[in-house]
Amino acid sequence: MKFGGEVEEISSLDKFKAAACSLGVSVFHFKVASNEQCEEISPFINMLCVRYPSIKFFKVDVEESLAIAKAESIRMVPTFKIYRNGVKVKELIRPNHQFLEESVRNCSL
């Protein structure tokens, strides 16, 4: 697993479970490539990766990873889920940039 400035793409349920259960904070961006809101927020996620290097950031394309989308009950995109030490601590649906960053920062404390 990479972290510290790079968003890692996850496409298998096993890799998702391993990442979600890892120590520390993990942020998952559930997206669809053709969705305008998902594409608009992606550069902001890249910036958060650099700003918060101790946090692991992942992206999941729900059209390509249906098993993950189903297991996580993803109904709308972009959806963000934040896990800390294997426990989901926050879920955000279509957040604005400020709310997303505040949530990431607060979950990392």
Q: Express each pLDDT in 23-54 by its tens digit.
A: 999 999 999 999 999 999 999 999 999 999 99
Confidence at residue 109, expressed as pLDDT on a 0 to 100 scale: 77
Instruction: Inform me whether the pLDDT recorded for 1 exceeds 50.
Output: no
The average pLDDT across 79-107 equals 96
Please state, in angstroms and rounded to a whole number, the distance separating the CA atoms of residues 105 and 96: 14
| pTM greater than 0.75 (yes/no) | yes
CATH assignment of 7-107? 3.40.30.10
Give residue for tokens 């650099």: 50
- Residues above pLDDT 90, as percent of the chain: 91
* DSSP character string of 4-57: SS-EEE--SHHHHHHHHTSSSEEEEEEE-TT-HHHHHHHHHHHHHHHH-TTSEE
